[in-house]
């Protein structure tokens, strides 16, 4: 489906509204939107805006349930970082171009975020403490900072501690790391912060990815039929024992709460 967004021209090739279909955390099946689907998405967006307004937050980590991932013990499929922009809420997140191994960073409104043929019309958010929000907010408004750790090479199951690929939830927490790590402060005298530093900070802060049990047969089928799935960045000792570690919304929410970087999960239906 075509996306429309509110994006500056400075990084139009990266922060772009693509005419091609894009996704993260949902099926890439092509089917027309119907009125009922649009109405449900807009209602969820309205309820979400009301909940975010009531929270008093300036920045939240926001998730949607775009796919049925219950067989892996995962509920939410995709997250982004939402921030207040005057009277409105904007969300920045990474989306994969369907049928390809490439992705880009998007800036959207809540309605666009939920207009994705969701598996469940449910959202959830975690509100970071004020000091975490204050460090995040300037980066969320700065296209160059949002692009700083972006790797367009995409795999849905990218290994959290490698640099070959980067999936959507991984970009979000690496960007969060950049804003919270003292080494990530943008200064002329300091080399640009990089993904290796972000991942080191995440490890230091106790982030633990989700381990998915994916058989060799299923891995082979996925790799053969989907350009946006790759397993070659995973360590052999884990991959060949069917243990695929990746960044999930559920693991991010649990870590934010455990590490004091966010409060309890608040669910919106």
For 151-177, the pLDDT digits (tens) are: 999 999 999 999 999 999 999 999 999
pLDDT at 2: 31
- Domain assignment of residue 248, yes or no: yes
Residue 12 in any domain: the answer is no
- Could you tell me if residue 15 is inside a domain? no
pLDDT, one tens digit per residue, over 74-107 is 999 999 999 999 999 999 999 998 778 999 999 9
- CB under 8 Å to 200, separation ≥6 — which residues? none
Look at residue 160 and tell me if it is in a domain.
yes
- Burial label, 226 (beta-carbon count in 10 A; 0-12, 13-18, 19+): middle
5 in any annotated domain: no
CA–CA dist 193, 185 (Å, integer) = 8
Query: Is residue 3 within 8 Å of 18, Cβ to Cβ?
Result: yes
Please tell me the total count of domains within the chain.
1
The answer to the question of residue 79 being in a domain is yes
With respect to residue 176, please indicate whether it lies within any of the assigned structural domains. Answer: yes
Q: Determine the structural domain holding residue 127 and report its residue range.
A: 22-268
Closest to 199 measured CA to CA, from 223, 154, 164: 164
CB 231 within 8 A of CB 157: yes
Report, as an integer, the average pLDDT of 50-67.
Answer: 96
Asked, for residue 47, whether it belongs to a domain, the answer is: yes
Q: Residue 115 — very low, low, confident or very high, per pLDDT cuts 50/70/90? A: confident
pLDDT at site 98: 76
3-class DSSP state for residue 169? helix
Beta bridge mates, 80: 62
Give the total residue count for the chain: 269
Mean pLDDT over 53-73 rounds to 93
Q: Using 50, 70 and 90 to split pLDDT, how confident is the model at 28?
A: low
DSSP one-letter string for 96-121: EETTSSBEEEEEEEHHHHH-S--SEE
Query: What is the per-residue pLDDT across 212-238, written as a single tens digit (0 to 9) for each?
Result: 999 887 887 776 568 899 999 999 999
């Amino acid at each position: 489906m075509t996306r429309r967004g509110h994006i500056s021209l400075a990084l139009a090739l990266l922060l772009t509204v693509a005419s091609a279909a894009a996704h993260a955390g949902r099926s890439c099946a092509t089917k027309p939107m119907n009125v009922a689907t649009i109405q449900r998405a807009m209602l969820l967006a309205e309820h979400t805006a009301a909940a975010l307004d009531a929270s008093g937050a300036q920045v939240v980590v926001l998730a949607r349930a775009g796919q049925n991932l219950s067989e892996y013990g995962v509920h939410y499929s995709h997250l982004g970082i939402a921030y207040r922009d005057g009277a409105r809420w904007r969300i920045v997140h990474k989306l994969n171009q369907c049928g390809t191994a490439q992705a880009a960073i998007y800036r959207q409104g809540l309605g666009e975020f939920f207009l994705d043929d969701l598996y469940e019309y449910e959202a959830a958010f975690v509100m970071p403490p004020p000091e975490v929000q204050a460090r995040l907010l300037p980066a969320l408004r700065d296209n160059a900072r949002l692009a700083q750790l972006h790797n367009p090479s995409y795999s849905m199951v990218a290994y959290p501690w490698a640099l070959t690929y980067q999936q959507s939830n991984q970009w979000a927490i690496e960007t969060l790391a950049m804003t919270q790590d003292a080494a990530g402060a943008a200064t002329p005298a300091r080399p640009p912060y990089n993904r290796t530093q972000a991942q080191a900070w995440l490890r230091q802060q106790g982030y633990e990815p989700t381990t998915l049990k994916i058989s060799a047969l299923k891995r082979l089928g996925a790799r053969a039929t989907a350009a946006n799935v790759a397993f070659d960045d995973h360590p052999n000792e884990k991959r060949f024992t069917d243990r695929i570690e990746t960044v999930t919304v559920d693991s991010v929410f649990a870590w934010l709460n455990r590490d004091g970087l966010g409060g309890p999960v608040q669910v919106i239906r």
